[in-house]
Structures are given as C-alpha cells and as structure tokens.
Structure 1
Amino acid sequence: MELRIDPDSAVPIYLQIVQAIKHQVATGRLKPGVQLPTVRELATDLRINPNTVARAYDLLDGDSVITTQQGRGTYVRERPDNAHLARVRQEQLKTLVDSAVGKALSLGYTADEIREAFDAQMARWTRKIKS
C-alpha cells in the first residue's frame, strides 16, 4: 500500500492517513479483503508514532472502512454502499479545499483572491474537459 503524508500540511497526520486510505478504497486501489500493514509497520514506514496510525485505524474502523480481527490483522471491509462512498468523496473534497484555503490564508491571500483563483482554475478545467 502506497501512502504519503505531508508533515507540513495543516491537516493532522492521522487524518491524512484516513483520507488516503478512504481514497484508495473509494477508487478501487485497495480492494475489499486486502490486509493493511500493522500499526507498527505503517508507523515505521511513515516514520511516525504508532499512536498516530492507531488513531487513524480507529477512525477508519468506526467509519466501517476497515475491520480489525484480533490476532489476524486489519482488512479492508467489503465495499460500502453508494451513499457511504458519496460521503467519503465529499469529505475528501472538503479536506482538499480546507488545506488549499488554509495554506493560501497563511500566505496572506485574501478570501476574494482565493475565490478568484479557484474560479479561474475551475474555468480552465471545465474548458479542458469540454475539449
């Protein structure tokens, strides 16, 4: 499982892990039944505290994305229903926008400048998609 975190992000590391795993499940890169790395393995790979990974796994378990079987490991649950996938997608979008807006505000951009930049990018992407 490939997972990247940004230690400089405004998004806490445990939420970055949650979002990355949810995204991989939603896009089919992580299939139902696939075993995830142990808390210790993932923490070692990412060079973070195991408690951070455990917190992410707890949230994912609470959201019915993964299941932990005592003594056997942590696995991706069977594919959630469409309503759940829609919620996951909305959460991912909100997080992406929050991160971008947070970074722009911290760099001193005004709300109007940020809104204009988003609108301009959306217009460019819309034109690309239509062509």
Structure 2
Amino acid sequence: MAEDKKKSNFEDSLIEIKRKSEFTLILIKNKKKVSKALVDFLIGVKNEAYDTKETSRIIVKYLYQQKITKDEEKHLKVQVYDVFKILGVGVPFMLIPGASIIIPFILKVAEKKGIDLYPSNFKSKDKPDATTLE
C-alpha cells in the first residue's frame, strides 16, 4: 500500500512537471503576441490619461468662458462616451465576484453583436473609428 502511494505521488509529480513544461511552452510560443498586447494596452492607458487631462482642460475652459470650439466639443463627446464605456465594463468587474473571468467573453459577444465596448484609445488604428460623434 505504501509502495502504491509512493508510485502515485511520483506519477502525480511527473504529471505536474509535464503540465508546467506545457504551460511554459505555450508562454514561449505566444511571447510576442502577449508582449504586443501588453504594449498596446499600456499605450492605450497612456493615451486615455492624456485625453482625460485634455477633457478636464476643455471643461474648465467652458466653465470660465462659456464657449468651446467644435473640435473641443467633439473631443469632449468622444471622451465622455469612452468614460461611459469604461464604467459599463468596469463596474461589473468591481461588483460581481468572478467578473474578471466573464469580461473577455462579454466583450467578444458584444463585438459579434455589433456593440462597441472598447474605448477609442484601445482600438487598433487600422480599423475605422466608430466613436466619431458629429
């Protein structure tokens, strides 16, 4: 019986090593894809922060001067639209346990249904921008 336990533990450890090596191979194989996705995400966050700063400048200008240009108005509309998109995906992420697992599926289903949940800074530049509000 003790010999069976040792054999079982040994087999379990071999299976565990095999799983780890398979996972490592998957990571190595997809290294470029993962690093590109991470760089794109960080660039999107940086651009979103810049746009939010620009939006706050436009709001302050509107509060003091009571007028803004058409371009500033368009920027403001797009940024507010993006903030609502972020809130629409982010609030369930914070409130619902396990939502971090569900969110990628929600984004994929929304994309298939023609619903755009990605903020404008997180879209690839080769696709046409659907957030242009006129």
Taking structure 1 as the reference length, what is the TM-score of the superposition? 0.33
TM-score normalised by the chain length of structure 2: 0.32
Structure with more strand by fraction: 1
Structure holding more helix per residue: 2
